[in-house]
Structure 1
Amino acid sequence: MAVTTPAAQKQAVAAFESLGLRTELAEAAAALGWKSPSPVQQQAIPLLIQGRDVIGLAETGSGKTAAFALPILQGLLSSDAKRTCAFYALILSPTRELALQIKEQVEALGSCIAVRCAALVGGIDLASQAVALGKAPHIVVGTPGRVVDHLSNTKGFSLKLLKHLVLDEADRLLHMDFEQEIDQILKVAPKERRTQLFSATMTSKVAKLQRACLADPVKVEVTTKYQTVATLRQQFAFVPAKFKDCYLAYFLTEVAGSAAMVFTRTCDSSRRLALLLRNLGFGAVPIHGHMSQPKRIGALNKFKGGERSLLICTDVASRGLDIPAVDVVINYNVPTNSKDYVHRVGRTARAGRSGRALTLVTQYDVELFQRIEALTGQRMEQFSAPEDAVMLLLERTNEAQRIATIQMKDGDKDKSGKRKGKRAGDDEDDRDMLTHKHYKKRY
């Protein structure tokens, strides 16, 4: 909730100043609507201002971005930093979307000092990013693979002057096999730097990385267990696998008008489900790793802006993304890793708001579902879905499934049978939605 009164604004500024932040930065934080520092910010910011290396263990949505961004921006305010400010900090992120979100938040917090920030992510032209690097940005945010590409190929881009290195969502970075790229970055980064490592959990790989790149770090631990917020209503529905799409359609009609994220296990599943739901009349857009970056950004912006009410996504959207006013999270596929459940449902019920999560459990998912309840220490409420009411949607759902299958085949192959660059389902403006030649007019 935004700070609205002068008294509340003044109180918020004082709360951030108490951590040792300069007034300009405290005012920037208050201007974003933050009433007070989050627990991870309270613990990490004073240590980082003192120049310590920090390893932060905090759950998703805990305010980690500001925890590492504000001390970096404070360093840029110093006179020494102003003289050698190009490539002052590098922030590594596991996904493109999270990197772009971090860039946006850094620019918002640093607007008072005209901070220059560049994003280096895949799916976007290398030349345009090279132009951005040529403008000597203060802070570079990127995915490890693309950062290594530019270190190897972009003239003038170097980490010789780097003062701060941040590894955000370190457990995810390592889970996605970025170890080799991170090693390459560490080899060219100066040893005299400040390093910050933030992770949701301390895995053996994260511990190894900590020993390799942090000097006498201080551990900041906000939570020691995976948990969900009290304002989240968690439900499950035990459904036959063959009727899962029908139950999903029924639930979406029950929450009509709500902004919902639907998580699937694979990219193809996201594509198929987006097409199916469009054929049923729902405003659905997909986001997954096989989409081009402009389409991923476009889909995300349409969902954020309220133009589309459903975002069908893989776990590429489960970490770190701050999407305002997500009312419902649906686990179409039960996550195989129980910890991913916490990250998924963390997209709703943020910043004190209420939210709702539904997990569709088939006869093949019972063990995975039980692991989630054991991890969170909570028993979920069963969602009531009368079978006769659900089955009223069966004929329409079966037809939508058939058409979605045809649309995917049409999108994957051209007349010669070769794969095309554009895939049906990735572009929410494709004419093969409701007007597809195979769609029956009676629906």
Structure 2
Amino acid sequence: MPFSKLGLSEHLQKALLALSYAKPYPIQEAAIPVILTGKDVLGIAKTGSGKTASFALPMLERFMDSKTTSNRHVRGLILVPTRELAQQVEEVFKKLSDSLPKRIKTLAVFGGASINPQMINLQGTDILVATPGRLLDLIASKAVYLSEVEMLVLDEADKMLNLGFKEEMQKILQLLPAKRQNILFSATLSADIKNIKDIILHDPEVVEIEAEEESIDQISQIAYHVTPERKGPFLRYLIKQNNMQQVLVFVSSAQRADAVEEKLFLNGIKAAAFHGQKSQGARNEALKQFKLGKIRVLVATDLASRGIDIPFLPYVINYELPRSPKDYVHRIGRTGRADESGEAISLVTDEELHHFKIIQKKMGKRVTLVHTEEVNLHGF
């Protein structure tokens, strides 16, 4: 089904054509017509399935009318769990609204960046994309008001609840008008999502797109058995011996990311840490330098890494294993994209062996484990 059949105006159809949006993704095809009716919607679709345009297009369609609001009173509010997602959503809205006859201003606000420019930029904003904590800060400063919100979107609601935003979300909901359209998107339909659905949504239409299994067939996987004290030197050995020029290294915490980055740097390997405790500017710069090839290694935590998209990444290394097999597949899926080959490497200690066996069982693939006791790591 083409976009022209979804009930969108010619202005938005032209914008989609200019952006080379050929046809809608399944979630867009299912959700857009329902959202355009003004009904509440619960959308279940995985990250990266095209869901942002599913709510962006109907919201822009609705706000192309001549209605204006009081200054600093936004009409559309989108709550997201992370800074990276806030920026991505803002970018989609700006691209889609660029050629519309009426100017519709979208702004993303989030923590880790100076609040003053955000307060100034809120003037004349129609659609606000926000992380919950920063939004409450701006409300407390009287920089924005929610009493005229017509459409509320909770994007990646499952992640917001997992990150402990439940209390902040409840405070925000109390400030919204009772009459509004509510749209909730989540990758899963957990018990928490069902509870918040009952609180927020009124007689919603449920739109669920079955997630396809992430293909990892083109990714070459190998694991190395190391002792904890040899893990750092062995990482540096791998990078230098294989002349790796672009490698994404996953760790379990911000502190570990900083420590690994420092050791790599001290051993002559240009690296940058990428985690939630870094400022947004620092994260953007690290990612830019990594994509340009000016640094060889990006050391990232799982949460921060959700904003990383590099088409032809050759290497992913699990310095520490993730908690779940799904996260493991998500990590290694950062390489081997667009039919390109990729290599995923895991460094596994004695303590991690049992967990690594579980990951392999859930993944349905056996990964060769190479012992490294004989590898001379002197000088690494």
Identify the match of residue 140 of structure 2 among 142, 152, 165: 152
Identify the match of residue 142 of structure 1 among 130, 142, 162: 130
Amino acid at match of 1:136: G
Does structure 2 retain, via aligned residues, the 8 Å contact 1:329–1:345? yes
Residue 206 (str. 1) matches residue 189 (str. 2)? no
Q: How many residues align?
A: 376
1:431 aligns to what?
A: none
| Offset, 1:83 | 6.6
**Percent of residue pairs identical:** 36
| Offset, 1:42 | 2.2
Residue 121 (str. 1) matches residue 107 (str. 2)? no
CA-to-aligned-CA distance 1:307-333 (integer Å, 9 cap, x gap): 334221112223354444433332211
Residue 130 (str. 1) matches residue 119 (str. 2)? yes
Greater CA drift, 349-358 or 42-51: 349-358
CA-to-aligned-CA distance 1:335-389 (integer Å, 9 cap, x gap): 123333244334345566654433322221123223333444x21443768765x
- SS at 2:295's partner residue? coil
Amino acid at match of 2:354: E
CA-to-aligned-CA distance 1:251-294 (integer Å, 9 cap, x gap): 43476465332111011110111122223333311111222232
Question: Which segments of 5 or more consecutive residues in structure 1 lack a partner in the other structure?
Answer: 1-13, 398-443
Residue 216 to residue 30, structure 1, CA distance change in 2 (3 Å): same
Does structure 2 retain, via aligned residues, the 8 Å contact 1:238–1:361? yes
Identify the match of residue 236 of structure 1 among 222, 226, 229: 222
Identify the match of residue 277 of structure 1 among 260, 264, 272: 264
Give the TM-score taking structure 2 as reference length: 0.88
Greater CA drift, 283-292 or 238-247: 238-247
| Offset, 1:121 | 0.7
Does structure 1 retain, via aligned residues, the 8 Å contact 2:218–2:336? yes
Mapped to 2, the partners of 1:355 and 1:53 lie a distance apart of 42
Give the TM-score taking structure 1 as reference length: 0.76
1:400 aligns to what?
A: none
1:37 aligns to what?
A: 24
| Superposition map of 1:326-365 within 5 A | 326-350=313-337, 355-365=342-352
Mapped to 2, the partners of 1:297 and 1:348 lie a distance apart of 20
Mapped to 1, the partners of 2:248 and 2:261 lie a distance apart of 11
Mapped to 2, the partners of 1:379 and 1:212 lie a distance apart of 41
Residue 212 to residue 17, structure 1, CA distance change in 2 (3 Å): same
Mapped to 2, the partners of 1:286 and 1:232 lie a distance apart of 27
Residue 17 to residue 308, structure 1, CA distance change in 2 (3 Å): farther
Residue 396 (str. 1) matches residue 375 (str. 2)? no
Amino acid at match of 1:248: L
Amino acid at match of 1:122: G
| Offset, 1:212 | 0.8
Residue 263 (str. 1) matches residue 250 (str. 2)? yes
Amino acid at match of 2:110: V
Question: Which segments of 5 or more consecutive residues in structure 2 lack a partner in the other structure?
Answer: none
Mapped to 2, the partners of 1:238 and 1:98 lie a distance apart of 34
Residue 386 to residue 265, structure 1, CA distance change in 2 (3 Å): closer
Mapped to 2, the partners of 1:203 and 1:100 lie a distance apart of 26
Does structure 1 retain, via aligned residues, the 8 Å contact 2:328–2:359? yes
